[in-house]
């Protein structure tokens, strides 16, 4: 599994076989953007394939574990940073600027992330340090 800083989170590898995933957007109470969820899904796929990895610990930086979906940050701003997974091309979904398109995108990636974590054959620990809302609670 790869370690480093990604869109909205960091991964550090501890010996023996422990990955610590830290949600790292304390100014947004660690709310998850769609690009962040896509990177987390990729990170969980890497964790699943890493035979040396035994435990994945999730924690949050700042005053909240995770405030769920970050619906306040505009999509154009969310997609500026490069991550593990390439951004969805601009114009891919014209509905993303409307409430229903935003809801569908959030739901799609939230469900995929929940399944990626649930399907891990590794022990998972949520080190919840404060608020855990919506996707952050799943």
**Nearest Cα to Cα of residue 109 among 41, 27, 26:** 41
Domain count, the chain: 1
Which tens digits make up the pLDDT trace of 4-62? 999 899 999 998 899 999 999 999 999 998 889 989 999 999 999 999 999 999 999 99
CATH at residue 48: 3.90.226.10
Helices (H) and strands (E) in the chain, counts: 3, 7
Give the 3-state secondary structure of residue 85.
coil
Q: Write out the residue range of the structural domain in which residue 31 sits.
A: 4-136
Give the 3-state secondary structure of residue 34.
helix
Tell me the pTM.
Answer: 0.80
Q: Cβ atoms within 10 A of the Cβ of 12, count?
A: 13
């Amino acid at each position: 599994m790869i370690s480093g800083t990604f869109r909205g989170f960091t991964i550090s590898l501890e010996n023996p076989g422990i990955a610590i995933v830290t949600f790292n957007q304390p100014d947004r109470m660690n709310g998850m953007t769609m690009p962040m969820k896509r990177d987390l899904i990729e990170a969980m796929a890497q964790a699943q394939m890493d035979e040396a990895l035994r435990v994945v610990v999730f924690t949050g930086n700042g005053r909240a574990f995770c405030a769920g979906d970050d619906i306040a940050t505009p999509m154009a701003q969310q997609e500026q940073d490069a991550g593990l997974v390439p951004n969805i091309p601009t114009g891919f979904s014209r509905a993303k600027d409307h409430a229903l398109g935003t809801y569908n995108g959030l739901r799609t990636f939230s469900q995929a992330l929940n399944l990626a974590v649930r399907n891990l054959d590794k022990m998972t620990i949520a080190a919840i340090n404060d608020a855990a809302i919506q996707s952050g609670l799943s």
